[in-house]
Chains A and B, each alone.
Chain A
Amino acid sequence: MAVLICNPYGQESIRTHRMFRVLADRLNRCSIDVLRFDYFATGDSFGDDSQGEFIGWTNDVIVANQELMKLSRAPRIAWLGTRLGATLAIMASVSSTFLPDRMILWEPIINGSNYLTEIDNRFIQTLRESYNVPREAWGNLIQSDEGPMRHEGVGFELGNILRQQLQALTKDTIPTPRTIQCDVINRRLEPEMESLMERWRNGSAQVDNLVLRDEFDWLAAEALTTSLVPAGIVQEFVRLIANQK
């Protein structure tokens, strides 16, 4: 078994970096190869923040998977996608000829508008908490439709294409993942996710839901009050992946 980790977006990616590094080490001890990578215009990869968009990133998942297959030669491949990375993994499974044996989708983004609102609100909160002297004017700039900070998402430039793609992302536009076994992980099962999973099951996909009760603050600017590598979450993923290798 080999695992491809599909990162979340922006601050969430920074927030989860060390956790996935530790998870990769733990899986490796169970003789499972792991590939972590940065999509174009994120992390260490080439490209400016503003150039990131779904089509390129979906293709990046497919290219990374090819690299994992080449390096690992493992007979079975699992994709672990987190937040927007889970959504991209679903899209990649549909546009690729490759069939992943398993997909683990951790809190996939299935409503882009809500996600943008979450990012905007967190951006305002982050700026408010960043200064001892609050700068309320910045909150107004973020919220105004034409404001200079309208194209920012908690420290990352959100390009026009990506923003439009996120706005158009709904549960109705998300295809059924092409895989043999799909596990969806959430803190709580929201009705929107439940109905999407029902559609996937009607499309004859094997879909299981798992509840991971550990709270995880995806967009935390600093991990001063939360765990950077939550032991419970790492253990749960190791158990989930290693037990079924």
Chain B
Amino acid sequence: MNEIAVKMGRDQNLIGVMTLPEKRQANVAVVLLNAGVVHRIGPHRISVKIARHLAKLGFATIRFDITGIGDSRSTNSALDFSRQAVQDTKSVMDYLQSQYGYDQFAIYGICSGAMNGYAAALADDRVTGLFMYDGYAFATTKAKFIRNWFRIQNTSLKKYLELHRRLYQRIMRLLLGKQDARVLPSLVSEFQLRLTKDRFADGLQLLADRGLALVSVYSGSIFETYNYATQFQDAFKGRAFLDKVVCYYIPEMDHLVTALAVQDRLTRLVAEWVQQTSQRSVAQQD
């Protein structure tokens, strides 16, 4: 394995680290995106661990910081954060293609990284695989019921009444126009505002039709939004892409992959997906 620090992008502002295997096994290179504001090494260094594991299997990876995150400088670009992230990812793929000859890419991301990966996959035909960890999640009626039932079970009557009093006050403030309706409890929910379930599904269908290896993993940290094994199937009932997206609900895993056992599990899942992406690419070329 060899690791090289690189500068990329039109403004040469994107900083990344390439991890190259001793023996190149495939034409697919893996792009590891930032998780929120955590720099390219990922939460608890998980991107470094994944990159080195993949190198042992013969796959090259790049972990890099998108504009304004980690070591990558901001530029004078007028693009908003999401569009800039897509532009940056395309620039990195251009770099890998021109410098190392890779023409197919598998994109992995946690949280906002998963959302940026989804957008980049839609924007660039060179992407042949997408791994989303705690990306877009859509609560079904059953998920809301499970969430509320859990709350009731774990809340004393006094707290329960207090919660409803606050909820009532909040609704009244909303109705009276005294509160911004976009005030939401978590960052993930805030990101979700950008995309409706139907638009997400349409995009996923396009990616499935293109033959991407698609994996979506949901952790125990987003219980409020995602909380049972077949939720993905329920949320997108009747959609043709359902049998083409591998979806896992793993409540033992947490959003920032804190415990080492969780890190090992994620690393293995990513490795399986990359191998699947590579095999698919070879099959499509044949």
- By the criterion CB–CB under 8 Å, are B251 and A127 in contact? no
For window 1-52 of B, CB contacts with A under 8 Å fall at 3, 5, 17, 36-41, 43-45, 48
List the B side residues contacting A132 at CB < 8 Å.
Answer: 150, 220-224
Q: Does A98 contact B (CB under 8 A)?
A: no
List the A side residues contacting B40 at CB < 8 Å.
Answer: 44
Name which residue of chain A comes closest to B147, CB basis: A132
B contacts with A: majority SS: loop
- By the criterion CB–CB under 8 Å, are B259 and A43 in contact? no
List the B side residues contacting A149 at CB < 8 Å.
Answer: 259-260
- A148 CA to B45 CA in the complex, in Å? 20
Partner of B251 from A18, A123, A133, A148 at Cβ < 8 Å:
A133
Q: Does A152 contact B (CB under 8 A)?
A: yes
Q: Does A171 contact B (CB under 8 A)?
A: no
- By the criterion CB–CB under 8 Å, are B43 and A133 in contact? no
Count of residues in A whose CB is under 8 Å from the partner chain: 31
- Closest chain-A Cβ to B53's Cβ sits at a distance in Å of 11
Partner of A49 from B5, B17, B45 at Cβ < 8 Å:
B45
Name which residue of chain A comes closest to B43, CB basis: A155
- Closest chain-A Cβ to B45's Cβ sits at a distance in Å of 7
Q: Does B256 contact A (CB under 8 A)?
A: yes
- By the criterion CB–CB under 8 Å, are B70 and A21 in contact? yes
- By the criterion CB–CB under 8 Å, are B258 and A44 in contact? no
Partner of B44 from A148, A155, A224, A228 at Cβ < 8 Å:
A155
Partner of A156 from B3, B44, B69, B256 at Cβ < 8 Å:
B44
A contacts with B: majority SS: loop
Q: Does B234 contact A (CB under 8 A)?
A: no
Known: A21-B70, A156-B45, A222-B256. A44 touches B5 (CB 8 A): yes
- By the criterion CB–CB under 8 Å, are B17 and A221 in contact? no
List the A side residues contacting B224 at CB < 8 Å.
Answer: 132
For window 119-160 of A, CB contacts with B under 8 Å fall at 123, 126-127, 130-133, 135, 138, 148-149, 152, 154-157
List the B side residues contacting A44 at CB < 8 Å.
Answer: 3, 5, 17, 40-41, 48
Count of residues in B whose CB is under 8 Å from the partner chain: 34
Q: Does B71 contact A (CB under 8 A)?
A: yes
- By the criterion CB–CB under 8 Å, are B39 and A17 in contact? yes
Q: Does B90 contact A (CB under 8 A)?
A: no
- A109 CA to B229 CA in the complex, in Å? 44
Partner of B70 from A17, A49, A135, A138 at Cβ < 8 Å:
A17
Q: Does B187 contact A (CB under 8 A)?
A: yes
- By the criterion CB–CB under 8 Å, are A127 and B254 in contact? yes
- By the criterion CB–CB under 8 Å, are B258 and A157 in contact? no
Q: Does B213 contact A (CB under 8 A)?
A: no
Q: Quick one: which of A14, A123, A156, A224 has the most chain B CB within 10 A?
A: A14
Name which residue of chain B comes closest to A224, CB basis: B187
Partner of A14 from B17, B41, B69, B150 at Cβ < 8 Å:
B41
Q: Does A46 contact B (CB under 8 A)?
A: yes
Q: Does B255 contact A (CB under 8 A)?
A: yes
Q: Mark A11-35, 1 if CB is under 8 A from B, else 0.
A: 1001001100100000000000000
Q: Mark B202-225, 1 if CB is under 8 A from A, else 0.
A: 000000000000000000111110
- Closest chain-A Cβ to B193's Cβ sits at a distance in Å of 16
Name which residue of chain A comes closest to B39, CB basis: A17
Using a CB–CB cutoff of 8 Å, the interface residues on chain B facing chain A are 3, 5, 17, 36-41, 43-45, 48, 69-71, 150, 187, 220-224, 251-252, 254-261, 263
Give 10 pairs: A residue, B residue, CB < 8 Å, sorted on A. A18-B37, A18-B39, A44-B41, A49-B45, A123-B258, A127-B258, A131-B223, A155-B257, A221-B43, A221-B258
